[in-house]
Amino acid sequence: MYLKNTVNIGGKIIMNIKTCSFTGHRPNRFSFGYDEEHPDCFKLKLLLEQEVLKLIKRGWTRFLCGMALGSDIFSAEIVLDLKRQGFEIELVCVIPCKGQADNWNDQYKKRYKNILKRANEIKYISNEYTNDCMHKRNRYLVDTADIILAVYDGETKGGTAYTVSYARIIGKEVIIIKPN
Cα(148)–Cα(143) distance, integer angstroms = 10
Give pLDDT, residue 107.
95
Flag whether the pTM goes above 0.75. yes
- What does the longest C-alpha to C-alpha distance in the chain come to? 47
Give pLDDT, residue 16.
77
Local confidence pLDDT in tens for the 180 residues of the chain: 333 455 555 565 556 799 999 999 999 999 999 999 999 999 999 999 999 999 999 999 999 999 999 999 999 999 999 999 999 999 999 999 999 999 999 999 999 999 999 999 999 999 999 999 999 999 999 999 999 999 999 998 999 999 999 999 999 999 999 988
Give pLDDT, residue 180.
81
- Please give the domain boundaries of the chain with CATH numbers for all domains: 21-177 (3.40.50.450)
Cα(120)–Cα(59) distance, integer angstroms = 18
